[in-house]
Chains A and B, each alone.
Chain A
Amino acid sequence: MQPAAGRSSDAPAASPGAPHDREALNPADRLQRAQHALLSRRRLSIRLRLVASLLLCFCLCCAFAAAAKDLLGRARGKLNLLQTIERLDDRILRVRAFEDEGILSGTDIDKVLEGARDAEDLFRKEAPALQAADREVLPALLAHLGTCRRLLTAVTTQGRERGGFGVLTPTQAGELRHAEAEANRLLEAMIRRERVSLSAIFRFAETGPLVLVGILLLLFAAITYCFAKALVNPIRRFEGYTSRIAVGDFSLIGPARRYRDEFSDLAVAVNQMLAALQEQQNRLVKGARLAVVGTMTSGIAHELNNPLNNISITAETLMEESTTLTDEDRWRLLQDIYFETERASEIVKSLLDFTRQEKREMVPLELGEIILSTLRLSQNEMNINNVTVAYDVPPDLPRIQGAANQLRQVFLNLFLNAIQAMPSGGVLGVSAAVRDQAGVCVEVHDEGAGIPAEILPRIFDPFFTTKEPGKGTGLGLSVSSSIIKKLGGDIQVASELGKGTTVHVCLPRAEEQ
């Protein structure tokens, strides 16, 4: 079936539809909006987090060092105290022993007195460092010590006055003994208690570092986990972006987290790159579209020169034969001129339509309309190559989501490839069918020579062509595939040498409201 000739109806691209907010924005606004969304989040840079974590670890270590120093100081104080107490205890014991034997030299007593005074001073000074139990008994102890000192001092002064030994009265001696015994008892109890508390300090000093190591281990694990997450996740995400970009999807990156960091800066830069790539791609697509018109020059010239020639010779007839023509003849000739003018302007209009930039992208489209208008565009190429069309696109096909002129460009490339593959004529098969819930597929089939298996993987490469210079730019399939991918579709080529080539184009269905 030949596609019906007639006005190429405007694709729904121009018809007013539900406004697609995202699509209606121009690329610069879209970029600005994406960048704003990325940058308007609270900043929480990885560097800041790194510094904070290290500071936390540092502070923790400092705290432990201070605690260790304090513990050491306490242990030393306790040791000193214990030594003093032990010495005092020992001296009192010795004094008691001498007393028992009745010999107590003046120097001995002086030493004891001095030691006792030192101990008392120390006790007073170290009172806060003592344990509660020790502090309780301290007044009693000091009282006993005071008694001992008083009595012993009395003895010594007596002795000096007399120039010999002083003697205590029996009651005094009894008092002294009792005070000394009590002091010994209290001091020994103190020693016992201080020993217990000292060994507790040592035990704590032994387990402390282990606990510290444990806490640090947990902290390091938590920090490592957080940083691994903050670094690995975005890298994974960016890996996804690069593979997406590699297949021609240039949609901008949006925010994926609540805060922003160095990766957000990277995303901003990538978006900038994507916008530049997109612009370059658009330019390439536009250039290729004009180039494809260039490859049709012979067809277009033919298509235009035929009506122009008809007009010219008809006008010539009118001028030459003005006297001999009947009114009826004249009317017929004028009508010819009128319709041939129409025919020529139709060609110009469809070409202009085709090369025009679209205002809105991604609108629901009738696939049949797109295919028919494209077949009209390539009609002349088919005529001069003796190619006929087998058209099988059901009229009730669901609408697809796309951009009319970009799709026309794709189909024109495919049709021209098919026509050029059949220089001595053949049948160009165009059929379409619903693939599944998500998509509609079009098949473009030709009876040409086919594509050798060794070049099949390269036909989508930009500038790959087997055609002679001037006949093919090698951009046709490369640009077509990038358009289809951008529209969310898929394009595949199957070919059998000597039998022909089939190109499958699948496009996403429009969501029908």
Chain B
Amino acid sequence: MPDNTSVMVLDDEPIVGDRLRPALAKGGFDVEIFTDSTAAIERLKQKAFGVLVTDMKMRGPSGMDVLRFVREHAPNTQVIVITGYATIETSHEANALGAYQFVAKPFKMKELVKLVEKASKLTAS
């Protein structure tokens, strides 16, 4: 069972991680920030996170690839996908792969933190 308070944030925009880290920490989460998806996958192999927040389009493996990896290796981890360009197709694909939520940029941090809280409760139950 993954530790439901552990959250991974993966986005190649460093500012996203920088801002989310204190906000999530304030909500009592244990946060790890990644800007490189390959490194993030390596970390996912070692640790089962309660919630994964990932960007869609990235250099190297995309958010969809990371989602697919998580579904195979850590089925209990809830995944929130954020993207700069939301299309019906990508949101359908993400939902089909069992993503918890699909969030379009620009998002409100408060809402994202709420989403992470809800997702983590789902993991716990």
Contact = CB atoms under 8 A, between A and B. Distances in A.
Interface of A: 297-299, 301-306, 308-314, 316-317, 320-321, 336, 340, 383-384, 386
A305 B16 contact: no
A313 B16 contact: yes
B59 A383 contact: yes
Interface in B58-90: 59-60, 62, 84-85, 87
Nearest to B112: A313
A317 B23 contact: yes
Contacts of B105: 305-306, 308-309
B13 interface: yes
Contact of A312 (B20, B60, B62, B108): B108
A317 B59 contact: no
A353 to B, nearest CB: 22
A211 to B, nearest CB: 93
Nearest to A384: B57
A301 B22 contact: no
Nearest to B18: A336
Contacts of B22: 317, 321
B106 A336 contact: no
B15 A302 contact: no
B47 interface: no
Given A310-B13, A310-B16, A302 B106 contact: no
Contacts of B16: 309-310, 313
A383 B57 contact: yes
Contacts of A320: 23, 109-110
Interface of B: 13, 15-16, 19-20, 22-23, 57, 59-60, 62, 84-85, 87, 104-110
A302 B57 contact: yes
A77 B74 CA distance: 135
Given A311-B106, A316-B110, 14 more contacts: A305-B84, A305-B85, A309-B84, A310-B15, A312-B106, A313-B107, A314-B19, A316-B108, A317-B19, A317-B109, A320-B109, A320-B110, A384-B62, A386-B60
Please list the 10 inter-chain residue pairs (A to B) with the smallest Cβ-Cβ separation, ordered nearest first: A309-B106, A302-B84, A305-B84, A309-B105, A301-B85, A312-B106, A310-B15, A384-B57, A305-B105, A313-B19
B117 to A, nearest CB: 16
Contacts, number: 63
Nearest to A300: B85
Contacts of A384: 57, 62
A66 B125 CA distance: 128
Contacts of B19: 313-314, 316-317
Contacts of A383: 57, 59
Contact of A313 (B15, B57, B60): B15
Nearest to B19: A313
A429 to B, nearest CB: 19
B13 A301 contact: no
Contacts of A309: 13, 16, 84, 105-107
A311 B19 CA distance: 10
Most buried by B among A299, A308, A316: A316
21 contacts: A301-B84, A301-B85, A303-B84, A304-B84, A306-B105, A308-B105, A308-B106, A309-B16, A310-B15, A311-B106, A313-B15, A313-B19, A313-B20, A313-B109, A314-B15, A314-B19, A316-B110, A317-B22, A321-B22, A340-B15, A384-B57
A302 B110 contact: no
A278 B2 CA distance: 67
A305 B57 contact: no
Contacts of A321: 22
B11 to A, nearest CB: 9
A65 to B, nearest CB: 93
A476 B118 CA distance: 47
A309 B108 CA distance: 9
Contacts of A310: 13, 15-16
Nearest to B60: A386
A384 B63 CA distance: 11
B1 to A, nearest CB: 31
A314 B109 CA distance: 9
Nearest to A339: B15
A58 to B, nearest CB: 83
Contacts of B60: 386
A302 B57 CA distance: 8
A316 B19 CA distance: 9
A448 B22 CA distance: 44
A306 B23 contact: no
A298 B86 CA distance: 9
B62 to A, nearest CB: 8
B66 to A, nearest CB: 14
B85 A313 contact: no
Contact of B84 (A306, A311, A312): A306
A310 B18 CA distance: 10
B86 to A, nearest CB: 9
Nearest to A311: B106
A9 B43 CA distance: 42
A313 B84 CA distance: 14
Contacts of A303: 84
Contacts of B85: 297-299, 301-302, 305
B106 A305 contact: yes
A428 to B, nearest CB: 15
Contacts of B108: 312, 316
B59 A386 contact: yes
A303 B57 CA distance: 11
